[in-house]
């Protein structure tokens, strides 16, 4: 999965998780609130993975440029 799709799916999971938490809180459904919290955390992790992939790619690109110049 590309870093872009990781970040997009992460943002979507985070948003859906927040909605589930709000609905669970409004209806007194503790199970839905917990499910929402888990989905939100999953989204945060997906976004972090996407950012890490970007950082690794940038570091590899920088190293390649440095080697090419040498």
Half-sphere exposure of 29 (CA within 13 A, CB side): 14
Domain count, the chain: 1
- Residues for the chain: how many in total? 70
Q: pLDDT grade, residue 1 (50/70/90)?
A: confident
Residue 62's domain comprises 3-69
DSSP letters spanning the chain:
--HHHHHHHHHHHHHHHHHHHHHHHHHT-HHHHHHHHHHHHHHHHHHHHHHHHHHHHHHHHHHHHHHHH-
Question: Comparing C-alpha atoms, which of 12, 10, 16 is closest to residue 42?
Answer: 10
* pTM, full prediction: 0.83
Query: What tens digit of pLDDT does each residue of 13-42 get?
Result: 999 999 999 999 999 999 999 999 999 999
């Amino acid at each position: 999965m590309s870093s872009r799709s990781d970040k997009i799916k992460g943002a979507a999971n985070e948003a859906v998780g927040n909605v589930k938490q709000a609905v669970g809180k409004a209806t007194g459904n503790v199970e839905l609130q917990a499910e929402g919290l888990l989905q939100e955390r999953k989204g945060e992790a997906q976004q972090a993975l996407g950012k890490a992939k970007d950082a690794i790619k940038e570091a590899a690109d920088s190293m390649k440029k440095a080697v090419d110049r040498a």
